[in-house]
Amino acid sequence: MSALHYARPESLADAIAILEQYGPGARVLNGGTDLMVRFQKMQVTPEAIVDIKRVRDMSDAIVWDGDSVTIGARVVMTRLIRDERIRRRYPALVDAASTVGSIQIRNRATLAGNICNASPAADTVPPLLVHGATVQLVGSSGSRETPLDGFFLAPGKTARAPDELLVSITIPPHRSPYGAAFGRLTRRHGVDLASINMACAIDAERAVTFAFGAVGPTPITVKDTSGALADHTVSDAQRDAALQALIARTSPISDVRASAAYRSAMLLVIGRRVLAQAQQRRADFDARE
Amino acid sequence: MSNADAHSGITHSGIIGRPINRVGGPERVDGTYRYVGDIKIPNVLHTRLVHLDCGRARIHSVDTSAALQMPGVRAILSGKELPASVKRFGPANRDRPILAIDETTFHGEPVAIVAADTVWAAAQGAAAVVVDYQELPGIYTVEDALAPGAALVQDPALRPNSAYKETNILNEWKFGWGAVDSAEADLVVENDYTFPMMTQFAIEPFTYAVEPTSDGITVYSAIQHPNYLQRVIAEFLDMPLSRVRVIAPDPGGAFGGKQHAKFEPLLAYLALRIGRPLRLELTLEESFQAARRTSAQAHIRTGFQRNGTLVFQDVEINYLIGAYEDIAGRLVAKGSYAGGGGPYRIPNVRILARGVFSNTVPSTAMRGFGLPQMNWPVECQIDEAARELGIDPVELRMKNLPEYGEVFMPQDPPADGRWAETLRKGADAIGWGKPLPPGRGRGISMGLKLGPTTGASYAIVRLHGDGSATVLAGTSDMGQGARTVYTQIAAHELGLSPQRIMVVMGDTQGVPFDLQTSASRSAVFMGNAVLRACRDVARQVQELAAEHYKADAVIVEPGTVEVGGQRKTFDQVMTDRFSKVKGEVIGSGSARAEYDETHPLNGRPAFYEVTCTAVEIEVDKETGVMVFHKLVTVADVGRALNSQHVAMQDDGGAIQGLGHTVMEQYFMDDRGRVRNLGALDYRIPTTMDTPRELISLHVENGDGPGPYGAKGAAEGGILAVSPAVAAAVCAATGAMIRELPLTPQRIWEALHT
Ligand SMILES: Cc1cc2nc3c(=O)[nH]c(=O)nc-3n(C[C@H](O)[C@H](O)[C@H](O)COP(=O)(O)OP(=O)(O)OC[C@H]3O[C@@H](n4cnc5c(N)ncnc54)[C@H](O)[C@@H]3O)c2cc1C
């Protein structure tokens, strides 16, 4: 067994060079709230740990370009939650980020880490998915941008190549009125991982998108094509039928957190609540603009 | 802030009952407290256990060759290599090997131990040990264990004198009085209830160190019973007690899980074998595999008259224990005996209780000692009768409570408290009977636990030449505040400010014997021993004053003596007497309760711990998610020696009770593996899960056998939580659930499937 190599590069190029050298044996260390737990339990046994906290060009800034926002890979949940403009524009993301762990965890946990960890239950992923976020990756063969939808391949697995770093996340502009909401179900009130989670967005054209987490190997994004979900005038039964059509695309399993039957039933219950809140926020948005 | 600062300005007068802050509290908060894990031992090796990922297995061979080559690895011992002369151990029956020899009998039973220079090297070494084994089917449930022809969990040779050795039953206890079969009832309520497998979850994981010395051995352990451990090690190693020193720093939480030896004998054996000190710190996951509470299944029939009078109680309860006895015999007997009746007058009672072996994590004591499992069905039955008979649950309980001094269990002391006051206080504080917003419900419940039946506690108090005092008491302060209470007793008796008193515990080399820290005993037993030691000191000071001042001396109030018409504090007497050639006064005291073979439990309880819990909750019927608006506990403590401590203990007991009531449980797969080891998927309440309003009250009538009329406290808070919550859920939703915990999913299932 060789000794573990710990690297704290200061430039992106150096970081990528180490990643390239170790290939899949390297692990990126960001806030460490996922990685260190797994490391201590020997669930991951990396040859090299590449700490990116000192990398100059890994940003911890939230940058607006018109109505589009780019969130650096070093931005922690606490910072995201406190950002006034994010709070106004993306309350669903703020709600999701606010549920991650505890205050101490949120002071270290990054949005990038929540994505790259690729847990099916990652809380910030559903809102990012319904917002149509993209991620920017830089590797030895250059940089690329890819939609978050499609980035997740399996639990713990993403389309990121071993020598790539996720450097930022971009949320594209949304024409108003726009409303989105986040909801989740946990086994207790304090610090818990989601038994199910979800986000819903309703855009200016009244297109409704849902993203569901913890009900399949990866979070999934589904669009309502019935039109029933954006329409206030439909009956509860019609609305539920449209929701059920979306829920049918999920594949919940039974595990220690919840049974498949309970998860399925809760998708509908929480789905109704999240939809109602998204509608309300869209209406409020309408009123404000 | 040090202890001394915490108590600056506090004098001895009126100190009994006073809510003075915890001795050792600031250190626990600021991180300066030294737990076992903080003790540095020169030359120590770190160890790690090797276990298998299945419930039960036959071990063919253990290959340590690769692991021994790893950097830093110094020694490996597997069960296969143990000489036959190495004894088994256990607090009751010595049935447990220090390492699994031919077979592992539960998920997590260690097969080998690796000693290395660092924790990491030991972990790497443990991962490199190759065990060739064959997984075997195991016994994981009561049904499996009691099925005809079931495989035996324990080798009959380990208990040759047991009538049950050819079964999976540890023992069967039959208690009761009256004639259940001929009792006539208007209403018979009959149900099944289950109580989950759960763990004590002390925040400090199990941590040990063992150091061979030139004249014996020193064992460091955060153990509740240092003297018990001393005896277990002495017997295991064939050493005299005087050569075995147990150093037991205050545990970082114990809750019964740290009563008895677990890995100390293993470390002692290996340390002596290789001649190096060793330490072992279990991970949280391993701590889950080291101790748990017994789960239980009860079938119960309860008879009532139309007017609500209890007629009979008929219970069969099976406690599922691990593969070794530990103290299950005592736990099942004591828990079921008192629980069968609860704090009520029931003329006919029949209890059949069994301890049932299984291939699961060793079960041991936990706060409430077998009683929460029993109180759960008993109190739920009362609520069910209340609903059936249309009688208010508070009234129904009132009707059946014995009066003060009334005999309610024929072989036991009469009711030693005014229990109606306890119930009334709980009902008033929760607003019983007042209108509630929709979606909410209230529930109320009582509980009775027998205090200790036998015991032996010894204390020494040294009054120093400067008038300050050291109290030596072998209790473990595991968070219950024993140090503080003994400080208060000594301050009162010797007329000292608490700042001038030091309580020394946790070192068998200098501190006198205490049987154990359990059963809510320490304030009463060790409290009395400390009180008597102080009075022994006072008597000596009185003599000394007469001699020194050559006049008659009388104690006029605690800590003050009158000599020749002048009042002098002990402090003054001591400084006057010992100004030239120094010295001190040493007092000793003890408290004992002897074995009584005529009693079913071999001893009558020293007191009853009686409690009431009342809750107000709200259920989201669509999701099953529950919110606790309010929780009230009331404890009859005789006399609160420190009102803050009593409230804190009951708050803590109630929150811990919420754990097994709404979220805590082991999930086991069909291969006997615990699937939710550790903090990720085993849920305990966080601060956000505690009731929005949490009130702990007490009843004080000075009617206990402890100092100043105190009874024991601190277990009561956990006894009655589950039935109160279940009743509240039933009131809020109409669903009565008889299987704990009442998780959101389970409530949802009750309402929707
Ligand atoms: C007590 C506790 C509670 C938690 N509660 C929640 C919760 O409620 N909801 C939830 O969603 N999560 C929760 N988590 C998980 C965790 O906090 C989040 O997933 C967090 O966002 C991870 O971010 P991090 O910066 O700490 O990631 P790290 O642990 O540093 O990294 C996570 C993974 O992503 C990779 N990685 C990180 N950054 C990059 C990058 N820039 N480029 C490439 N790869 C990268 C790492 O190599 C690693 O595999 C909890 C964790 C703990 C310990």
Closest approach of B746 to chain A, Cα-based (Å): 9
Residue with tokens 């915890």: B22
Cβ–Cβ gap A270/B753 under 8 Å:
no
| Residue B745 scores a pLDDT above 50 | yes
**pLDDT by residue (tens digit) across B572-583?**
999 999 999 999
Cα–ligand 1 centroid distance for A217 (angstroms): 17
Cα–ligand 1 centroid distance for B723 (angstroms): 39
pLDDT at B338: 86
In the predicted model, what is the mean pLDDT of residues B143-167? Answer: 98
Nearest CA in chain A to B743: A187
Cβ–Cβ gap A269/B622 under 8 Å:
yes
Dihedral of CA atoms B642, B648, B649, B651 in degrees, nearest 10, equals 140
pLDDT at B12: 77
**pLDDT by residue (tens digit) across A190-227?**
999 999 999 999 999 999 999 999 999 999 999 998 88
Domains A62-171 and A179-288 share a fold: no
The closest CB to that of A256, out of B70, B123, B675, belongs to B675
Point out the ligand 1 atom lying closest to the alpha carbon of residue A167: 41
pLDDT band at A288 (very low <50, low <70, confident <90, very high): low
Note the CATH number of domain A5-51.
3.30.43.10
In the predicted model, what is the mean pLDDT of residues B349-363? Answer: 98
What percent of chain B clears pLDDT 70, i.e. is strictly above it?
Answer: 99
Closest approach of A266 to chain B, Cα-based (Å): 7
Task: Tell me the best of A8, A22, A27, A28 to mutate to test the pocket of ligand 1, counting ligand atoms within 8 Å of each CB and taking the most.
Answer: A28
pLDDT at A3: 77
Among residues B547, B715, B739, B749, the one annotated as catalytic is B715
**pLDDT by residue (tens digit) across A96-135?**
999 999 999 999 999 999 999 999 999 999 999 999 999 9
**pLDDT by residue (tens digit) across B659-687?**
999 999 999 999 999 999 999 999 999 99
Classify residue B151 by burial, with Cβ atoms within 10 Å: 0-12, 13-18, 19+.
Answer: middle
Residues with CB under 6 A from ligand 1: A 27-35, 37, 52, 73, 99-101, 105, 108-110, 112-114, 116-117, 122-123, 160, 165-166, 191, 193
**pLDDT by residue (tens digit) across B409-429?**
999 999 999 999 999 999 999
Task: Give chain B's domains with CATH numbers.
Answer: 3-33+455-593 (3.30.365.10), 36-136+205-250+257-288 (3.90.1170.50), 295-452+599-752 (3.30.365.10)
**pLDDT by residue (tens digit) across B481-520?**
999 999 999 999 999 999 999 999 999 999 999 999 999 9
Is the domain spanning A62-171 CATH 3.90.1280.10? The answer is no
| Residue B2 scores a pLDDT above 50 | no
**pLDDT by residue (tens digit) across B612-667?**
999 999 999 999 999 999 999 999 999 999 999 999 999 999 999 999 999 999 99
The closest CB to that of A265, out of B625, B686, B752, belongs to B752
Which tokens go with A159?
């389309």
The closest CB to that of A256, out of B283, B667, B753, belongs to B667
Its ipTM equals 0.96
Closest approach of A288 to chain B, Cα-based (Å): 32
A39 close to B (CB below 8 A): no
For the stretch A116-119, contacts whose Cβ atoms lie closer than 8 Å and that sit 24 or more positions apart, written own/partner, are A116/A28, A116/A30, A116/A158, A116/A160, A116/A166, A117/A34, A117/A35, A117/A156, A118/A152, A118/A153, A118/A154, A118/A155, A118/A156, A118/A157, A118/A158, A118/A218, A119/A34, A119/A155, A119/A156, A119/A193
For residue B487, CA distances in Å to B24, B313, B469, B491, B492 come to 12, 44, 10, 6, 8
B687 close to A (CB below 8 A): yes
**pLDDT by residue (tens digit) across A27-63?**
999 999 999 999 988 899 999 999 999 999 899 999 9
| Residue B6 scores a pLDDT above 60 | no
Helix (H) or strand (E) holding B364: strand B363-364
B127 close to A (CB below 8 A): yes
pLDDT band at B4 (very low <50, low <70, confident <90, very high): very low
**pLDDT by residue (tens digit) across B223-268?**
999 999 999 999 999 999 999 999 999 999 999 999 999 999 999 9
Question: Residue B533 has what DSSP assignment?
Answer: H
pLDDT band at B1 (very low <50, low <70, confident <90, very high): very low
pTM greater than 0.95 (yes/no)? yes
Point out the ligand 1 atom lying closest to the alpha carbon of residue A30: 30
B286 is catalytic: no
In the predicted model, what is the mean pLDDT of residues B13-26? Answer: 93
Classify residue B27 by burial, with Cβ atoms within 10 Å: 0-12, 13-18, 19+.
Answer: middle
Q: Which fold has domain A179-288?
A: Enolase-like; domain 1 (3.30.390)
* Domain residue limits, chain A: 5-51, 62-171, 179-288
Write down the mean pLDDT value for chain A: 95
Q: Are A114 and A122 in contact (CB under 8 A)?
A: yes
Cα–ligand 1 centroid distance for A257 (angstroms): 19
What percent of chain B clears pLDDT 90, i.e. is strictly above it?
Answer: 97
Taking contacts as CB-CB distances below 8 angstroms, the residues of chain A near B680 are 193
